[in-house]
Structure formats: C-alpha cells, structure tokens
Chain A
C-alpha cells in the first residue's frame, strides 16, 4: 500500500526524445505540504520530469503516482490524460488566455468541472484575494503586466484546489527585483495553504531559498536530493559543488584514516596538508569549499584551522558582500566576506576554514 503521506511518487521514470534520453531512471517523492525543487542546467531533464507528472509527455518507462493513484505506469500501459490527474501547473510563459478576462481565466478550471455559479464566484474571489488581484477581475488578460500575469497564473492554478501544484520556472520571465518579491510571496502562499508542490528552476539561489528539499539533476539523472542547507554545505558530487553556490574545488589526495575529530587529512596537488570532512561516495581526489565559509585574517594568525598564507589578488565590491580572489599555494581561491571585512589588493593574508565545510568529493 502507498503511504497516504506521499503526494507524488516517481519510480524509474524514463523519457526519450527520439534517440535522446531526456530523463534517465529518475525516482523521487514529494510529501504532503512539501515544496520540492528540481534544479539543474537547461537540458538536464527537470522540466521533462515535471511535464511527465502533469501528463504532458509520453514517458517510455517507469511509474508515476499522484496522491496514491497511478497516473502513469509503463508496466500497466497506463498514461492518464492531463485533465484527469488532479494536478495543476504554473507555466513559464504564464499561458494566460488573452481572449478572456482575469476572472474567466481563473474560473475556467471550475467551469469545466461543472461547479455552480455561486461557488465559482466565491472561489475565484478568494484566490484573487490571495494573490492581490481582486480589483483586476474584470480586466482583459491581454492588458496585464508580466508580474500581474504571474499572479493570475498562480490564482488559476490553485482555484480548483488541486492535489498537487507544479511550477515550471514560474519566475524566470520576471525582472530581478520582482522575482525576489514573488519568490517570497509564493513560498508564503504555499506554506499557508499547505500546498504540495514540485518546482522547476535553473536558478540555484531561488531553489535554495524556496524549497524544503532540492533535487539537483544533470544529464537526465538525479545527482543529489537533500535539504537546501545540506546541498550547499555538503555537495555530494563535483557537479553539485560547481552548480550550487560558489564552491572552490581543490584537487589532491585524501588520506584513508580519519583523525580523532572525524576529519580526514588531504594533501593538495601543491603539497599543502588540509583537514577536510569525509564525503559520501567520495573518490578522495578533490574537495569542495564554498567561498562564503572561508575566513581571511591579517598575517601571523596560526591558531585557526587550515590556516595558510596567501595574497589578495583582486577585490570586488558587490554591496551585500565582498568577493576576493586570493593567490594561495593551490592556485587561486574565491572568497566571499561581509562588506565590512576590507583587505587591500596586494596585501598578505591568512586563509582559514573549518574542516567540516571542506567536503571530500
């Protein structure tokens, strides 16, 4: 029996486009009220996976269950049409029907379900209130700004109380400022209504900010499934390390026996000894270190962990942080510090980082 707690279950999903395998044996699940993000570069199979859940793709293998009902199964040769799956979706292009008013757009899902007129009006007004679009109800949809279309798209998607909500890069067509605002609103709405959501984005910052769990995909496969904090701190593979955050990758060779504190010795290619954290399935030939976890001290500090002398090569002021490029024995190191931590270009520094943030790959 299926646990009723799982709203989406995907097992060994395969989707082919001609000879190209877009999704390669992907398995994942989403719990009730959870927002799970599929994150990856374009062409990694994240959108295809989402569309397969929606019923907009013809998969070649595997199984998909929504709320305990099998909506796709290769073994049973079942592929339920999109309109019967009880899922809803917010499209990247919003797909707001331009020949209808805002009200009609939002009401459409209720109308085709033969809901009574009074109930339609009540529901549409309720969801338009949620996205603060009530006053635009009678406006033709073709006369809306991008941000307004986005809100209407969300309202339309939740109006008929779907069991599962799918988001296909919903914020990628908005300008940077609005994107951040809408991100907060979406998360707020999802938490408040307890919506179960599968969310696709290529923006790692968005994924980390909005999700309960993040699934990093690459080349049609899943690289890692974890909480945003874990994905950022402890990338499980070289790909995740390079795609999420701003990690430095340092090559070398790990020693096999852990020390008393559980950390491992790691000899870099240039001969430095570092203390690092053991990773999962690590091959031991590289470590990943997020730029934000590195401390910089004036010269002479030697009691800090992994303290190594270096020189500031370049300093770039970003506002929220300062980014340094530091010359050190292993080449160049990307370091991000708070904007009050100023070192001049060319000055000598000591680089330091805790072993737990330096993850063996």
Chain B
C-alpha cells in the first residue's frame, strides 16, 4: 500500500488541513493588521503599538483590565468557593438551590444578567430606592463605576466557580479530613489546615482561569463601563472598530496585546492545572465523602445559600420580569403594579423579527456545535491515542483559546473581508467564528471521553480483525456518544450565551439573540428586551437542564467556558 493510502495518516491529514484553514488565518491576519498602516498601499509600521502608549488613555485601559479582571476573579472565587464547599462538603440545608441557580444561569445570556443588575443597582433600582426611603440622599450605589463592574462580573462568574470547585471538593479524599478529625482537629481546624490546603492548587488554577476569561469579558465592560467612560481592553477594541471610520490597526494592536497576555497566562494556567492533580493520592474504597456536620451553624449556612440564590438568580429574574411588564423603565413600587401590561410580550410574539432572531440563533449554534463535535471526534481521538500528528492536531484545535471573543470577532472579520467568499454579513461568518471559538471545548470533551475508554477495547477490536476506520465507527463512536452529546449541548449553550464574538459580525439581516438584546439595550427598549430575554432564558434553561442530566448520566466533566 502506498503511504498516502494509509487510513491513519490520511485521516490525520484531512482533519489537520481543515483545522489549519480554520484556525491559522485569524491569528495571521490579526498580527498582520497590527503592523500594517491603513490606506491604499499598506506599509509595515509599528505606529499602532506606539499609539497604544501615546494615545488617549492607552495605559489606563490596560490597568483597568487588570483591576477589573482581578477584582471580579476574587469576588467570584469567594462566592462560588464558599457555595461549593457548603453544598458539596457540609450538611447545610437548601443545598439544591445552588444547583438550580447554576443551571439557570448557564442558560441565561450574560447580557441579560447585566441589564438586570444595571436596573437593580441603578438610580431607580430597589437598593437606591430603599436608601432614599430610609432618609438617604441621592444614590447609595453608584453602579456605573469600576466597583459596579467588578460586582456584576463577580456575580456572573460565581456559578461557574461553584461548578468547577464543587467537582474538586467532590473528588477530595475524605480520608484526609477524617484523619485530621481522628488526630484531634475540630471541623474548623480541619478545613483550614487540610481541606483548603489540599484544594489550593486547584483553586489557584481556577483563579487564573477566571482571570483569563475576565480579561476577555465584554458584556459588563460594554454595558456598564462604556457609558461611564471606563474602558478595558475589550471595549477599547470594540470602540475603535465601531467608530467612524473604524481604526482596524489600532484595534488589532490592542487585540495582539490581549492575545499575548492571554497566551502567557494560559501557559502558567496549564502548568498550574497539571499541578492541581498532584495531591490526588491513593484512595481507599471510595467512601462517599461524608459531609461535615456543622451543628447549629448549618442554619446559618443554609441562610447563606438562600441569600446567594436570591441575589444571583431570583433578584435578576424578578427585575427582568418587572421590566418586561412595565411600559417604561421604573423602580419597584406599588404604583407600578397598576401599570402592569403584557404589551411587551405581545410585541415580541407578534413581531416577526424576534422569531427570526431566535431561529437564527438556534440554527447557527446548532450548526456550529455539530461541526465542532464532528471535527473534534476525529482530532480528539487521534490526539488522545497519540495517532499520527496527534500533538499538532491538539495544538491547532486548542489555538483559539488565546482569542478573547471580541478579538476573534475582529480577526474573523479581517479574514473574510479579504477572502473572496460572499459570507460577510451573513450567518455563515458568525457560524465560522463560533466553530473557531468553541473548538477547544469540543476537543476537551472528546479527549477526556477517549481517555475514559480503556484502550484495550480498541485493541480487542483490532485483534479481532477490525480496520482503523471500523474501530472508530463501531467501537469508539458508540462509546463516546455520551461525551459527544454533553459537549454538543455545552457548546450550543455557550454559543447562545456569548455576545462578544457576534457583536462585530452580526448585521441587520443576520442577528443572533445576544446581539439583539445588546442592541435593544443601546436603543433603550428595556421592556421588549426583558420580555424577549425572559422567554429566551426559559428556552435555554430547558437545554441547560438537558445538559446537566446528560453530563451526570454520562459521567462527563463540565468544563468552564
């Protein structure tokens, strides 16, 4: 047989070529855009990078990004970490509430949360209302500030922290804690000297992970920061892309800075997370980790869980519900009860563009998820089994991790403005951006799924006479189905949730839900926004529950987005 007819090699080559065509051009274009001058005959220049430092508030923007990301990371770790520990390792009551909050928040677009919080903490929101009622003057909470941004972003990330740290606490070897109790330590001493120290590598890795994601966050900086002129890297990119005329070079330079920063952080992250496993020792007979008995404190802990549930989930949803039932934005009040109206819902349901919008979102997310899982099935399997070119495939598929959403938007735009394909301004370009952006998640689901399959299952089929592709089709594919389904649902969810990628790529004829919500906000149509957002949340929560059910049944891990 000729070498190029070897099915192993051929598969690797085809998958590798597709990944390369998808993944490499955005990076190349971005770097190129940052070092080419604008105009008819571009020349090499470093002026864009110089502008970063000399132009209006360039350094301040970078500093803002760090403060914003650092602050929200700490806040989300505090909230999510305490919740995770209470739920997974104690006998506090109401633990189920934390799960409900997490599942629903996974289905809600970030931008909706932000809108709700802007209302809640805003001048007419209940907190400032209450303050004035108690005799205060003006506003107690100034939401349009760095503090407000950190607070809201921290709330946004806390469910994910809860989810991932919960897995860490669940996997903890309870013997380690019991050994401390037997040695004479109290619950508090055990938690401080043993539990937290053992979880520390995982906590640090997660902190860095959230920090990276917060650096690339767009929703809060755009909705809270821009009106108050507090710019971070992502909004600086967005700003220079949307002003007239767009400054592509300047945006690219910011984007390259961000990609560089994220790459460095990712490098440390991968070292940290490899370290995170180091305390996993010999385990015993797998006793279910016995929860700590908090004694009388368990009611206080239950109160904390309830408070978190109210703050992270109920309050924002109530705010949206209120807004959706009011003809114009007003605070919670008895007077407002009289003006309740279903007009906003009627408008959403009757106007054809909302239905089209929803359909667009679902189709493009489903399409992207399907393409990703198909590619990832091959690439992930080859990489996990160290097939030909496995490492290269893995690196190609994971490449887009260095792109914050907004940066990828810029890069994809640059690529497909120059490529003679008539997809600019259509749903296709959004779909392609999704595929690039979320490929790493599909890859991780498949990779982890393959590692759970004992290689002897494949070897046994090989010994029985099955060829390479037959093994893949008859053995690997069926066994991998639970991981594939979980991965598909996860990508479907986050694709529908994230605003940053699509915000630069969507055009009037090709809108998706998160962008539409953003536009409604910018246009001041708060009522319709809330009505549409709530209906959308209900739909996505259904998918989110499906996802959790599938993850639990298939025993797959949940990866952060």
Residues of A within 8 A of B (CB): 42, 47, 54-56, 81-83, 87-89, 91-99, 108-109, 112-113, 142, 146, 149, 156-157, 160, 168-169, 173
Question: CA–CA, A103 to B284, complex, Å?
Answer: 23
A-B contact pairs, 9 of them (CB 8 A): A89-B179, A89-B182, A93-B282, A95-B175, A95-B284, A98-B278, A108-B183, A160-B183, A168-B284
A173 adjacent to B282 (CB under 8 Å): yes
Is B473 interfacial (CB 8 A cutoff)? no
Known: A56-B178, A82-B181, A156-B179. 5 other contacts (CB 8 A): A92-B175, A95-B176, A98-B198, A98-B281, A112-B185
Partner of A56, one of B181, B200, B285: B181
Complex CA gap A149/B173 in Å reads 16
- Residues from chain B with a CB closer than 8 A to the CB of A173 are 282
- CA–CA, A310 to B264, complex, Å? 80
Q: Given A95-B176, A99-B198, do A113 and B184 touch, yes or no (CB 8 Å)?
A: yes
Residues of A within 8 A of B186 (CB): 81, 83, 112
Q: Are A142's CB and B284's CB within 8 A? A: no
Instruction: Tell me, in angstroms, the Cα distance from A89 to B184 when the chains sit together.
Output: 11
Task: Kindly state whether residue B194 has any CB partner on chain A within 8 Å.
Answer: yes
The reply to whether B182 and A97 form a contact with Cβ atoms under 8 Å apart is no
Given contacts A95-B179, A97-B179, A99-B197, contact A83 B184 (CB under 8 A): yes
> Which residue of chain B has the shortest Cβ distance to A92 in the bound complex?
B284
- Among the listed A81, A93, A142, A149, which residue makes an inter-chain contact with B279, where contact means beta carbons less than 8 Å apart? A142
> A88: which B residues are within 8 A, CB to CB?
182-183
The docked-state distance in angstroms from the alpha carbon of A109 to that of B184 is 6
Complex alpha-carbon distance, A160 and B181, angstroms: 13
Taking the nearest CB of chain B, how far is it from the CB of A8, in angstroms?
15
B282 & A83 in contact (Cβ 8 Å cutoff):
no
Interface flags, B139-179, vs A, CB<8A=1, else 0: 00000000000000000000000000000000001011011
Q: Is B189 an interface residue (CB 8 A)?
A: yes
Please give the distance in Å from A136's CB to the nearest CB on chain B.
17
> Are B185 and A83 touching (Cβ within 8 A)?
yes
Residue from the list A47, A55, A109 in contact with B183, Cβ < 8 A: A109
Is there contact, CB below 8 Å, between A93 and B182?
Answer: no
Complex contact B178–A95 (CB within 8 A): yes
**Size of B's binding interface in residues, CB under 8 A:** 27
Q: Which of A54, A56, A146 has a CB less than 8 Å from the CB of B282?
A: A146
With beta carbons under 8 angstroms apart, the residue of A83, A91, A112, A146 that contacts B175 is A91
The 7 A-B pairs of least Cβ separation, nearest first, read A109-B183, A93-B284, A95-B175, A95-B179, A82-B181, A92-B284, A112-B184
**Residue B371 interfacial (CB < 8 Å):** no
Across the interface, do A97 and B176 meet the contact criterion of CB distance under 8 Å? Answer: yes
A91 in contact with B189 (CB, 8 Å): no
Give chain B residues whose Cβ lies under 8 Å from the Cβ of A93.
Answer: 173, 175, 281-284
With contacts A95-B173, A98-B198 taken as known, whether A142 is within 8 angstroms of B281 at the C-beta atoms is yes
Flag whether B306 is at the interface (Cβ < 8 A): no
* Chain A positions within 8 Å of B124 at CB level: none
CB distance from A162 to the nearest CB of B (A): 9
B176 / chain A contacts, CB cutoff of 8 Å: 95, 97
Contact A55 B198 (CB under 8 A): no
Chain B residue at minimum C-beta to C-beta distance from A173: B282
Across-interface contacts of A92 in B (CB, < 8 A)? 175, 284-285
Q: Is the CB of A112 within 8 A of B278?
A: no
List residues of chain B with CB under 8 Å of any chain A CB.
173, 175-176, 178-186, 189, 193-194, 197-198, 200, 278-279, 281-285, 290, 293
| Given A95-B175, A99-B198, A112-B189, A160:B184 Cβ within 8 A | yes
Measured in the bound complex, the distance between the Cα atoms of B278 and A82 in whole Å is 28
Partner among B181, B185, B279, B290 whose Cβ is within 8 Å of the Cβ of A98? B279
Closest B residue, CB atoms, query A83 = B184
Which residue on B lies nearest to A149, using beta carbons? B282
User: Contact: A156 with B183, CB < 8 Å?
Assistant: yes
| CB <8 Å contact, A108 and B198 | no
Contact B197 A91 (CB under 8 A): no
Chain B residues near A87 (CB, 8 Å)? 182
Instruction: Take A93-B173, A99-B197, A142-B278 as given contacts and tell me if A81 and B183 are in contact as well, using a CB distance cutoff of 8 Å.
Output: no
Which B residues are in CB contact (< 8 Å) with A156?
179, 183
Q: Which residue of B lies closest to A98 (CB)?
A: B279
CB-based contact A94/B282 at 8 Å: yes
> What is the minimal beta-carbon distance from B278 to any residue of chain A, in angstroms?
7
Please, how many angstroms separate the alpha-carbon atoms of A81 and B294 in the complex? 11
- When distances are taken between beta carbons in the complex, the residues of chain B under 8 Å from A95 are 173, 175-176, 178-179, 284
Contact A108 B282 (CB under 8 A): no
Tell me which residues across on chain A come within 8 A of B198, comparing CB atoms. Answer: 97-99
Which residues on the B side are within 8 Å of A108 (C-beta)?
A: 180, 183, 185, 193
Q: How far is the CA of A156 from the CA of B184 in the complex (A)?
A: 12
Task: Tell me, rounded to whole Å, the shortest Cβ–Cβ distance linking A176 to chain B.
Answer: 17
| Residues in A neighbouring B193, C-beta threshold 8 A | 108
Contacts of B184 in A (CB 8 A): 83, 109, 112-113, 160
Residues on the B chain within 8 Å of A55, using CB: 181
Determine how close the nearest CB of chain B comes to the CB of A67; give it in whole angstroms: 15
Give A54 to B285 CA distance when docked, in angstroms: 17
Task: Name the distance in Å between A149's Cβ and chain B's nearest Cβ.
Answer: 8
A146 to B, closest residue via Cβ: B282
Chain B residues near A94 (CB, 8 Å)? Answer: 281-282
In the complex, which residue of chain B has the Cβ closest to the Cβ of A168? B284
Bound: A311/B433 CA distance, A: 80
Q: Which residues of A contact B173 (CB under 8 A)?
A: 93, 95
Distance in Å from the Cβ of A163 to the closest Cβ of chain B? Answer: 12
Alpha-carbon distance between A99 and B180 when the two chains are bound, in angstroms: 13
A-chain residues with CB within 8 Å of residue B278 when the two chains form the complex: 98, 142
Taken together as a complex, chains A and B put the C-alpha atoms of A160 and B182 apart, in Å, by: 11
Could you tell me the distance between the alpha carbons of A94 and B178 in the complex, rounded to whole angstroms? 11
CA distance A81 to B178 in the complex (A): 11
**Most chain-A CB neighbours within 10 Å: which of B181, B182, B290?**
B182
Judging by beta carbons under 8 Å apart, are A91 and B284 in contact? Answer: yes
- Please measure, in the bound complex, the distance between the C-alpha atom of A142 and the C-alpha atom of B280, giving whole angstroms: 10
Residues of A within 8 A of B179 (CB): 89, 91, 95, 97, 156
How far is A92 from B174 in the complex, measured between Cα atoms in Å?
12
**Contact (Cβ within 8 A) A83 B181:** yes
A54 to B281, CA, bound (A): 23
Q: How far is the CA of A156 from the CA of B182 in the complex (A)?
A: 10
